[in-house]
Amino acid sequence: MSVNVLIVGAGPTGLSLALSLLRNGLSVRIIEKQLQFHPGERGAGIQSRTLEIYKFLGILPDLIEQSATSPRNLQYYSAPDDGKPPRFGAFAEPTEDTPARPLHNARMLGQNRHEALVRKHILADYGCQVELGTELRSFEQHHDHVVAHVIRTVNSKQVEETIIANWLVGADGARSVVRTQLGLSFLGESPPAVEAVTGDIYVLGDSVKQDHPDGWLIWGHPSSLAVSLRPCLVPGQNLFNFYILGGPEHGIDMSKVSSNREELIKVFYDITGRKDIKFGELVWMGLWRPNIRMVDSFGKDRVFVAGDAAHVHSPTGGQGMNSGVQDSFNLAWKLALVHKGLAPKSLLDSYSQERMPVIAAMLNKTTELFRKEFQGKLGQREDLFRGYELRQLGVNYRGSPFVVDERYTEKDEVVDPYRSGDDGTVHAGDRAPDAPGLTRLDGEITALFDIFKPVQHTALIFPGLAGQEFVAETLEALREYPTGIVKSVLLLPASSAPSSFPDLADMVLVDSKGYAYTHYVVAQDTPTVVIVRPDGYIGALVTSGKTGIRTYFADKVLL
């Protein structure tokens, strides 16, 4: 059976990729070698930028309903607990949403529930179902397709199947078969003498909640012995995620602990001294050792990798799962355009070129947090504070050769791929800010985040003093590209008369609150076109009108 895209791995990376591709009209199969879905929390923090992606994909309301706010405080106890009052430390400062950044604060949702939510939308909207018990064994690439050999487990029997796909994406984790067979290097380090047991367990009674109803409790210090209990915040369930950190040098056999519930509880009591905390069912448990690595390329020809298949690191900072979702969102629209014959295959080169610097920066940040957390001294707990950049709103592609910027032309500018937008400037390659309070000609109020879609570019036209002539030339250039690929949005300042521009663009809006002109730093007398890509990043920021538009589309993005 042939399919447009075969996705290997059904975690958040693979599922978000599938949803993005399906939204773009491609057929998808998702295979997962496990026989059942993982039951545990694992990566529970969903950062601000990922929330915005889910807004564009249309699943944010469900996610907000099912998730909870991030913990604000950490409580630190001695180990064993000596009964003294705990010390409190900040985890992440909550901040007010703004018109440009309407989803400022992360949410908490266990990965098991997160995955189930995305699976529900994929199945309900497109009839696409994850194929459990299906393992990729090998693949061969050809000039126009990929042949994948898989083994399906059916009624405890293994059945071979050959899948013909136009494209193959490995979202199959740190031990990725796709990455290995593709021959990509996976350079990095495995820091010695650090290991942890992690999992989810039910707590009986209110012994933990009495300490702090929604608090994250920590005994000891990760550089020696430590125990962490974080509430999973599942409605009606007293479920907690736990970490136990230590090792043989502290007299703890972590492999033994990770294989036996009774041993786990014994070690918990030994470290904390809190025998008043009683435990119920153990949902899952596993042994974790740090591994900090990334690939030298995100793909070759018709095969790509994303998420943990491309980069692994310490969970400190809550960046891994979120970065995987953003890998997928970067790749999906490009793959869709190339597959449909609307873009040159070279557009797919930008996937590696854009994500590599971002992931390298991310690894540096999470590794710094890891070393502070696991090698810092007792009492120096500010190292667990999560800085603003970890919300990923500053992730940018300013250095990409696939963006066009006529406003900022400095070629030797040093770009931090994790920080942009805080200096009052907006460049091509930056995350496109929101702008609410936009008034349609029929009086309806909307916002840019309600207009941006993962299936199209959005051309924001700020006419300036050039008026109708600039708008007409701009729209003429945009009509050179296939219908549905580019949506034109004419943004008029509050002082203008909408009747002067009747039905010239796909959408005419009055910037009644002034947010669009302010957030995109556009002077009302300067004609400007901002082209927002399907992934919500600015692909082009041009003042030359049709010349700049053609430079972006014809030279880089579309055929």
Assess whether pLDDT exceeds 60 at residue 382.
no
DSSP 555: I
Q: Give the residue among 82, 80, 182, 196 at the shortest CA–CA distance from 136.
A: 182
Average pLDDT, the chain: 89
Whether domain 404-557 has CATH 3.30.465.10: no
pLDDT at 448 over 70: yes
What architecture does CATH give domain 2-67+107-187+295-391?
3-Layer(bba) Sandwich (3.50)
Least confident of 112-116, 371-375, 525-529, 544-548: 371-375
Question: Which of the two residues, 71 and 62, has the higher pLDDT score?
Answer: 62
What is 195-288's CATH number? 3.30.9.10
- Strand, helix or coil at 182? helix
Q: What would the pLDDT profile of 233-243 be if each residue is shown by its tens digit? A: 888 889 999 99
Cα–Cα nearest to 516, from 436, 421, 445: 436
Name the burial class of residue 430, with classes exposed (0-12), middle (13-18) and buried (19+) by CB atoms within 10 angstroms of its CB.
buried
DSSP letter at 86?
P
Domain boundaries, the chain: 2-67+107-187+295-391, 195-288, 404-557
**High-pLDDT (> 90) share of the chain, %:** 63
Q: What is the pLDDT of residue 499?
A: 65
Q: How many helices (H) and strands (E) would you count in the chain?
A: 13, 29
Tell me how far apart the alpha carbons of residues 530 and 520 are, in angstroms, rounded to a whole number: 8
DSSP 252: -
Q: Are 311 and 323 in contact (CB under 8 A)?
A: yes
Taking CA atoms, 248 is separated from 102, 252, 261, in Å, by 47, 5, 19
2-67+107-187+295-391 against 195-288: fold identical:
no
Q: What is the pLDDT of residue 442?
A: 86
Residue indicated by tokens 């992934």: 535
Q: What angle do CA 111, 294, 257 make, to 5 degrees?
A: 50
Dump pLDDT digits (tens) for 253-275. Answer: 888 999 899 999 999 999 998 99
CA distance 341 to 253: 56
10-26 pLDDT per residue, tens:
999 999 999 999 999 99
Per cent of the chain over pLDDT 70 is 91
Q: Look up the pTM and report it.
A: 0.93
Cis preceding linkage at 80, omega within 30: yes
Question: Structure tokens of 226?
Answer: 């430590």
